[in-house]
Structure 1
Amino acid sequence: MLTVFAFLLAIGVLVTFHELGHYWVAKLCGVRVLRFSLGFGTPLLRFRPRETEWVICPIPLGGYVKMLDEREGFVMPEERGRAFNNQHALKRIAIVAAGPLANLLLAVLLYWVVIAQGVPQLKPLVGTVIAQSPAAAAGFREGDRIVDVAGKPVGSWQEARLALVDAAMSASAIPVRVQTEAGASAERRIVAERFGDKAVQALQQGDPGLSPARFLPAIGAVEPGGAAAKAGLRAGDKLQAVDGLLLPRWEDWVQMVRNSPGKDLRVRIEREGKPLDVKLRPESVSQGDEVAGRIGVAPLPDAAWNDKLSFMVHYDALGALAEAGAKTGATAWMSLKFLGNMLIGHASLNNLSGPLTIANVAGQTAREGVSPYLEFLALISISIGILNLLPIPVLDGGHLMYYVAELVRGKPVSERAQLLGQKIGFILLASLMAFAMLNDFSRLLGG
């Protein structure tokens, strides 16, 4: 229920702000707005305080502002000056652009609220290196401090990850300069192609196989009914060896379990200071094209490391606003670069997400607290703003393209050309939405 509520609230806020952008600028330009609708379908609620009818409909995936327009019906002679189609092209451009720009403004405001409270950050310290990953092949070691990525200095884990995303869009080998635990300077070169498409996609999302988190070789939680619970393992058990082989790191245990689906393992643990042997058989689970072992446990975080990892950054009101604007701009630019790289084949379409993934993330961030949820809203608001500015007919950007062409040509684009563009745009947008939904189902099914 929390996931559903968080998703509906997100869509409601983002759509409302987008459509209010169109509405406010239309009113400023003297255009009559006939209807302001949240959602689609048969209206559930409607009211008309003045000349605009305000409507709430049952299908929440969008909304619209309907303006007086001679192309859509008869307009009284005295009202023709307030019709959208009779406005100068610059006014129509302003009205159409106001929706996406309102989404970008909303992102600035949301980031401002979050940043003004103080921003928890993580130092760019490597806590865990995933075995058989691009990061492991590059020679990363636990305790490395990331200094710069592709020549760009970073001061936090978040900055390092964004720099990796940016670099992955334009280079196949990414140089990362680190300071080792011993204080020496070293360069690691991340190359993901040799590890397959999934590794490339993960790198494009800022994950080469590194994590700032560090875990102890001990069980933090046990899933009821899982292989670990059936073997009698408990939270707090310290893991020591498998079949006589010492495994000192949590990552070693993860790798051992993954590589042992359906196999009997003799596990040596320490419980309340005493050694104990248990028999454990990992379950077999499908993960894409391979079968891996799973026992249903969560690790015990290394509290001392986590205390060393975290720090807080504080800003005054103006500083927070400037930081919010910069973050919105950087995220918007990265979104544009990502879309451009998808068009030329440098980024995978598998990174597209649809409503199911968005709903899932909405629920997750809502459980984490108000600030993570607001940051999620800001990110989606930026995505909506950028997507709507793309020059694709049926989107706001498509209309902007027609009106700019009108300014250049001195006359409107023909209705035939607009109709053809609308058909092409609808097919393109429907295809992207279908692909995004397929990606959603693939993620839900573990593909």
Structure 2
Amino acid sequence: MSSVLQGSFDIVSGLFGYLLPFLFVLAIVVFVHEMGHFLVGRLCGVKVETFSLGFGPRIARFYDRRGTEWAISAIPLGGYVKFKGDLNAASVPDHAGMAAIPADERGDSFPHKPVAQRAAIVAAGPLANFVLAFVIFTLSYMLVGRTLIAPVIGAVNEGSVAAATGFQAGDRVLAIDGEPVGSFDEIARKVSVSEGQRLIFRIERAGREIELAGEPAIMSRKTVLGTDRRPVMGFVASRDPAHFFRKYYGLGEASTTAIGEIVFVIDRTVHYVSGLVAGRERADQLSGPTRIAYISGKVAESGIAPLLMLAGILSISIGLINLLPVPMLDGGHLVFYAIEAIFGRPVSPRAQEISFRVGFALVIMLMLFSTWNDLVHLTGFAL
């Protein structure tokens, strides 16, 4: 009996420890994304038929005074806004349905809006994700601050580039390639984007300044996200408590730092995707809902502020993914609108239908592959 009770307790703990933080993060990101579509759609005079968090059967719903259905659905992996003239949640145009509507009733339908307005409505979702990340990062830097480590080297790994270059424990890095650094985090960032580059470090040692130069080596290491491949010098930060400090930002610096963080995440994501296509990166870093739930649970153990920062990072990723030129995603719709703007007529219904089917298949395959990745890596870590 005790083993049964313990098993039940473990299940409940897993539910609250991993699933709830994941749903919290996902709900924020999805709600803001869909709200971007919704607000710009309303601004352009399009009738919104449904705003749903999740897919599938309705758990709860209500209708506002404009007739829009607001719903929470059973499958919480996403959400959608369905406009008048959409065939389904993926905003596939309902050509047959619109043909049956009298001409004087088509003014508030999505397909009959100018191409510029349709493009703005579609682009508003990913843009809202970037705005959400900016707001989260900025407020976090202002209200919570950041725990940073002074740019002091604590140890140098034997046989590393740093050892061969002449770095020593206790060196304080003042600048890299002429750009001042104020924390060890800045050193790590600059090194991580330096593949194939020779870096010049200006350091302070025993009261005098010297320069050391070296090209970081590429190292692969296993993490819960998969195989991480990045440039490293081979030194680590000081662990001396005196070198730890907490920094709070004013609005201006918090904003610029937030923008820098967003640019960094975008740059790293684009670098990874391009490396994946070129065969330089491994696909095991592609994460699905299971691994994101695991990470959400681990981050939630540190409090609400780190969980919101994770929401900001996930929001950037969702925005970027939706901008991929894949039918079914926002980026695919934008490609169709670009073709329409160039040639003066929309892509034929048949071509759109085939494209959406191909896009749907690609999205399903990606979800299955990422879920398989999740199971393989999380099982491996559990063992």
Which of 95, 111, 118 does residue 137 from structure 2 map onto? 111
Equivalent residue, structure 1, for 2:89: none
Decide whether the 8 Å contact of 1:150 with 1:174 is kept in 2.
no
8 Å CA contact 2:59, 2:71 repeated in 1: yes
Is the 8 Å Cα contact of residues 174 and 204 (structure 2) preserved in structure 1?
A: no
Structure 1 residue ranges without an equivalent (≥5): 215-304
CA distance in 2, matches of 1:346, 1:151: 30
Indicate the SS of the match to 2:213. strand
Quickly say closer, same or farther: Cα 1:322–1:158, change in 2 above 3 A: same
1:346 Cα deviation after fit: 3.2
- Residues in 2 aligned to 1:423 and 1:405: alpha-carbon distance in whole angstroms: 19
Residue aligning to 1:164: 191
* 2:40 alignment counterpart: 25
Alignment gaps of 5+ in structure 2? 1-15, 86-93
Q: Distance in 2 between matches of 1:376 and 1:21?
A: 20
Aligned match of 1:330? 264
Counterpart position of 1:97: 123
Distance 2:133 2:31 in 1: 13
- Output the aligned Cα RMSD: 2.9
Task: Report how far residue 176 of structure 1 moved.
Answer: 5.9
Structure 1 distance, partners of 2:375, 2:176, is 33
Hey, what does 1:376 align to over in structure 2?
310
Q: Distance in 1 between matches of 2:222 and 2:250?
A: 41
Aligned residue for 1:410? 344
Cα distance, 1:76–1:412 mapped onto 2, change above 3 Å:
closer
Match of 2:108 in 1: 82
Structure 1 residues 329, 196: closer, same or farther in 2, change over 3 A?
A: closer
Matching residue within 203, 207, 214 for 1:179: 203
C-alpha separation in 1, matches of 2:298 and 2:191: 24
Pick aligned residue for 1:438 from 358, 361, 372: 372
The one of 79, 89, 95 aligned to 1:71: 95
Q: Residue deviations 1:349-405, cap 9 Å, x none?
A: 222222222112212222112332221111110111111111111110000000011
Instruction: Determine the structure 2 residue equivalent to 1:308.
Output: 242
Amino acid in structure 1 at the alignment position of 2:141: I
- Equivalent in the alignment of 2:149: 122
| More helix, by proportion | 2
Does the alignment pair 1:37 with 2:52? yes
Maintained 8 Å contact 1:202/1:208 = no
CA displacement at 1:109 relative to structure 2: 0.6
Query: Per the alignment, do residues 136 and 371 of structure 1 end up closer, same or farther by CA in structure 2, a change over 3 Å counting?
Result: farther
TM-score by length of 2: 0.81
How far apart in 2 are the matches of 1:378 and 1:347? Answer: 24
Give me the TM-score of the superposition, normalised by structure 1: 0.70
1:212 paired residue among 217, 237, 253:
237
Identity of aligned residues (%): 36
Equivalent position SS for 2:326: coil
Mapped pair 1:154 → 2:181: yes
Query: 1:421 and 1:45 mapped to 2: Cα distance?
Result: 33
Aligned ranges for residues 388-403 of structure 1 at < 5 Å? 388-403=322-337
Counterpart amino acid of residue 39 in structure 2: W
Mapped contact 1:80–1:86 kept (Cα < 8 A): yes
Deviates more, 1:382-391 or 1:139-148: 139-148
| Aligned residue type for 2:172 | R
The structure with the larger Rg is 1
Q: Which secondary structure state, in structure 1, belongs to the residue aligned with residue 147 of structure 2?
A: strand
Task: Describe the SS at the equivalent of 1:81.
Answer: coil
Change (3 A) 1:318 1:357: same
Deviations 1:119-140 (A, max 9, x none): 3222233334556777667765
**What SS class does the counterpart of residue 268 from structure 2 fall into?**
helix
Alpha-carbon shift at residue 49 of structure 1 (Å): 2.0
Change in Cα spacing, 1:45 to 1:28, as seen in structure 2 (3 Å) is same
The Cα offsets for residues 25-79 of structure 1, whole Å up to 9 and x where unpaired, read as 1100110010001001110101112210011012110001011104363564243
